Structure 1
Amino acid sequence: AAWPHFIAHAGWREPVYPALEGAAPIPELVGQTYTHESFGVPRWESTPEENFALLKSAMRFFGAGQIASIELDANVKSMFYPVDASRMFFNGPPMAYGFEDCDNGYVTDTHFIIPNKARWVVTYTTPMPKEMYRTAPSGVCYAANMSRYRLNQETMACVQKFLLGLGYQGLQSAPWPNGICPSPAVATLPGLGEMDRINQCVIPEEGAVVGIYKFITDLPLPVSKPIDFGAFRFCHSCRKCADTCPAKAISFEEEPTWEPAGPWSTGGKKAYYKNEPECKLYQHSTGATCQICTGVCVFNVNTKAMIHEIVKSTLSTTGIFNSFLWKADVAFGYGHHDAAEWWDLDLPRYGFDTTMGVRDGGYGK
């Protein structure tokens, strides 16, 4: 069969500009764009479950971490940004999202147009270096934070080429920083992770130091379900991020609330809302953003710390080890570090463990 050629074709291409309308037609970079017609085979057709297994394997090869899918229903559409202003970071105009009965997504001067037949959202993670985050606030931590954008462009460019070869499309507004809708929302709904005290999303396999991305596709996929691995409940009594926040922008309340903290907050969820203006003011004052709250999260343990894995496995059923997990960070070397020390560390490629959450090939043994 010719289908295995599509992953080879997609996997070695140089990163391209992955705009929402599909893989960018830049012949000097990507050469000829192959499709199933090019190989003389029909479009890939299978069950949603087999489609997801195929896509997950390909995306892991292309650099993605954890992967989940959800239906693009009215509830998810309601979370789309009315106007995506993140293009202004690159001196571009704000863009809105629209839906049409068309075959392929496309871009106008004012809109990203999504075909109505593209009915699934794939959410996935791009891991980031935990050791670099533990130096926050610093230029080293800032570099770690920005690394997700570089890695995602490569991942998504390959995913788009792969889907195009199968006869489908992957629509993403990268490299713009936000894109489509709030990432923590579409990571929580399909069960990639749970909400946390900093009003983001913590991933069981990867912790809080993670980039979350999503794209829309017309490849039929199953609907993943939310999970409860105890993280949000743990946040009720932890407050470590709030204790270490220099701006005191993170809630100390024991219980989350339905009431937004201010006009900057999006309601409709029971959460720990932050004082975002105070957070942003402090970030800008450092010259290197902040990210202290993300770096100190107790779920940022490395995969070889087996005692932490045992404790984490109990969080969904009991809070008996909560205080241990909070205090063990410094003892196991997971506290704050001087940024100058990072340059002397011997760390994995890209700065993170690519075997997180992996079971096969001897890597999960």
Structure 2
Amino acid sequence: MTKFHHTVSRRDFMKGIGLTGVGLGGAALAGPQFHDLDEMMASAVDIKHPWFVRQREAYNPTADVDWNLIKPYTLGNHGYNFGVKSGDGQAEKRAAWQAQQLKANAPGNSLKDVAFSAGASFLSFGAGLTSVPWYGIDVTTPEQRGVARWSGTAEENAKLVRAAMHFYGSPRQGFLAFNQRFIDLSVRANALRIENTDQPYADGSTKVIPQSCKSAIIYVVKQPMEMSNFGDHTAPKLEYSSALNIGATIGYAMGPIIQNRTQRFLKSLGYHALTGLESYNVANGVMAGLSELSRNAHNCTPQEGTLIRYTPSIVTDLPLPETTPIDAGMYKFCYQCKTCAEVCPWGSIPMDTEPVWEANDAGPNGEANVWNRPGYKRWPMNFAKCHGCNFCDANCVFSQKNLASVHTTIRAVVANTSLFNGFFAQMDRAFGYGDSTDYEGWWNRDLSNWRHDTVLGAGTDDWA
């Protein structure tokens, strides 16, 4: 254990995390201070995060943004097309390796695992799910019930939505204004327009949104840690464990279920609930205060790290408050950590310490990779190389939750100072919290602990 020894005085340690003269326990118990009732009411809007997470100003995330450069974009010739890589032959090699593993009854790729994956992917993006219109299916409206539609303050509405969506399967929700900034940030060019109309409708491929819709609900869709492509950091580049990526597939399958339940709820209250408007979801999660941007271009949440599936939106005319970006020290931690880049089998994640404004990678045939848009500082992913294996997310330091009791304290330290980031990242690699290849053990796990079996156990976060 001597290689983990780091000499630092108690005074320097406490000073580094901003707790000089205050015990850690006292700091953890310190509550927010309110000067009047307006401040107290506004505090109800905040997302339930651990105590050490700080709120930032609206549209001011930890990753620098130049709003003059943020414009709607066209998906076009992006390289984020998993398993379809022009000329590299990797998709064929991966398929051949999976076939060999299946015949060998290898753990993580055996017949029972393949069957398990088939079940997990059901209802995912049209796989077995009856198509639901983007404006939601018909429901019994308040008018048909003979009553007025629901009416409440923005804060009351936020509480209502959160209570319902938490039950439906999403652990946390944030809210953004649905305006031109939202469109510039996350909507594909020419995908929608806003009109003075009572009902949404489609004009060819363009979705027409009523002017009354001024809010967007942004919500976390979880995926379970189990079977989320955990594996040995030293595994051969193609032969990484569980190529099935079952954790991701069931995460994507849960998204439409949460979405449809929420649409029915909002429409039954008497409000629009429009989905599928954004083409880029990570920015929504960051701006709504659910996450920070990570090195691998994903949402990094204080609760699950990058091991969530996505943060989609539902646009509505139900009045809602706005939530703001957060600072939990995670984006800054990515400067020194680099674990996701080190374990990436495809070399698609940059190893540079500093994030950059430029987006200089290209698609498989030299075309511009438009997924790396200009306008913000990040580590530009080479999406043309990415095969969507989820290896980066499964090995993210922040994805390990509280597998060791010290993790809670470490996260609080990271949120207050970057002094120990390099040391903590090295510790994580050495202890190997991201390694979990015991698939046979998973099949024989204790089923009495329901929260680890499905993303529907959203109400049992370690931070709750």
Equivalence for 2:201 = 106
Once the two structures are TM-superposed, the CA of residue 320 in structure 1 deviates from its matched residue by 4.0
Distance 1:352 1:220 in 2: 27
**1:171 matches 2:266:** no
Distance 1:306 1:353 in 2: 21
Query: Which of the two has higher C-alpha Rg?
Result: 2
1:14-64 Cα offsets, whole Å, 9 max, x none, are x86442122x24xxxxxxx22222333211111111111111101101111
Pairs aligned (count): 314
**1:350 matches 2:450:** no
Equivalence for 1:192 = 290
Query: 2:275 corresponds to which letter in structure 1?
Result: Q
Q: Secondary structure at the match of 1:247?
A: coil
Once the two structures are TM-superposed, the CA of residue 346 in structure 1 deviates from its matched residue by 4.0
Distance 1:343 1:218 in 2: 45
Distance 2:184 2:261 in 1: 29
Aligned CA distance change for structure 1 residues 320 and 343 (closer, same or farther; 3 Å): farther
Would you say the 8 A contact 1:261–1:274 is kept in 2? no
Equivalence for 2:157 = 51
Distance 1:242 1:61 in 2: 35
**1:247 matches 2:346:** yes
Equivalence for 2:133 = 19
Q: Secondary structure at the match of 1:78?
A: helix
Equivalence for 2:166 = 60
Query: 2:251 corresponds to which letter in structure 1?
Result: R
Distance 1:60 1:275 in 2: 35
1:122-171 Cα offsets, whole Å, 9 max, x none, are 11111101132243645565221121222122111111111111111111
Would you say the 8 A contact 1:21–1:107 is kept in 2? no
Query: 1:311 corresponds to which letter in structure 2?
Result: I
Q: Secondary structure at the match of 2:290?
A: coil
Once the two structures are TM-superposed, the CA of residue 313 in structure 1 deviates from its matched residue by 1.6
Distance 1:322 1:134 in 2: 25
Aligned CA distance change for structure 1 residues 141 and 350 (closer, same or farther; 3 Å): farther
Distance 1:328 1:350 in 2: 29
Query: 1:205 corresponds to which letter in structure 2?
Result: Q
Query: 1:274 corresponds to which letter in structure 2?
Result: M
Distance 1:60 1:315 in 2: 28
Distance 2:302 2:345 in 1: 26
Aligned CA distance change for structure 1 residues 230 and 352 (closer, same or farther; 3 Å): farther
Given candidates 165, 177, 201, the residue that maps to 2:299 is 201
Given candidates 226, 230, 247, the residue that maps to 1:144 is 247
Equivalence for 1:181 = 279
Residues 1-365 of structure 1 correspond to what in structure 2 (within 5 A)? 17-22=131-136, 24-25=137-138, 33-82=139-188, 96-135=191-230, 137-139=240-242, 142-173=245-276, 180-211=278-309, 212-262=311-361, 263-264=368-369, 265-279=372-386, 283=387, 289-303=388-402, 305-329=404-428, 334-338=433-437, 340-341=439-440, 342-346=442-446, 348-350=452-454, 354-357=458-461, 364=464
Equivalence for 2:237 = none
Once the two structures are TM-superposed, the CA of residue 105 in structure 1 deviates from its matched residue by 1.9
Distance 2:132 2:409 in 1: 40
Once the two structures are TM-superposed, the CA of residue 258 in structure 1 deviates from its matched residue by 0.7
Equivalence for 1:3 = none
In terms of mean alpha carbon deviation, does 221-230 or 270-279 score higher?
270-279
In terms of mean alpha carbon deviation, does 333-342 or 40-49 score higher?
333-342
Once the two structures are TM-superposed, the CA of residue 328 in structure 1 deviates from its matched residue by 4.5
Once the two structures are TM-superposed, the CA of residue 349 in structure 1 deviates from its matched residue by 2.3
Equivalence for 2:45 = none
Cα root mean square deviation, aligned: 2.5
Q: Secondary structure at the match of 1:316?
A: helix
Aligned CA distance change for structure 1 residues 185 and 235 (closer, same or farther; 3 Å): same
Distance 1:61 1:117 in 2: 27
Equivalence for 1:9 = none
1:263-284 Cα offsets, whole Å, 9 max, x none, are 21211111111111122xxx2x
Distance 2:408 2:222 in 1: 18
Q: Could you state the TM-score of these two structures normalised by the residue count of structure 2?
A: 0.62
Once the two structures are TM-superposed, the CA of residue 181 in structure 1 deviates from its matched residue by 3.0
Once the two structures are TM-superposed, the CA of residue 324 in structure 1 deviates from its matched residue by 5.0
Would you say the 8 A contact 2:228–2:247 is kept in 1? yes
1:332-364 Cα offsets, whole Å, 9 max, x none, are 6622233744434446221685345477xxxx4
1:50-93 Cα offsets, whole Å, 9 max, x none, are 1111111011011112110011122111124436xxxxxxxxxx
Query: 2:453 corresponds to which letter in structure 1?
Result: R
Once the two structures are TM-superposed, the CA of residue 209 in structure 1 deviates from its matched residue by 0.9
Gaps in structure 1 of 5+ consecutive residues: 1-14, 26-32, 84-94, 174-178, 284-288
Q: Could you state the TM-score of these two structures normalised by the residue count of structure 1?
A: 0.78
- The structure, 1 or 2, with the larger RCO (C-alpha pairs under 8 Å, 6+ apart) is 2
Gaps in structure 2 of 5+ consecutive residues: 1-128, 232-239, 362-367
Distance 2:426 2:357 in 1: 30
Once the two structures are TM-superposed, the CA of residue 230 in structure 1 deviates from its matched residue by 0.3
Would you say the 8 A contact 2:224–2:453 is kept in 1? no
Equivalence for 2:35 = none
Query: 1:105 corresponds to which letter in structure 2?
Result: P
Distance 2:174 2:317 in 1: 15
Aligned CA distance change for structure 1 residues 135 and 41 (closer, same or farther; 3 Å): same
Distance 1:195 1:111 in 2: 29
Would you say the 8 A contact 1:18–1:172 is kept in 2? no
Distance 1:351 1:120 in 2: 26
Distance 2:155 2:319 in 1: 9
Once the two structures are TM-superposed, the CA of residue 261 in structure 1 deviates from its matched residue by 2.7
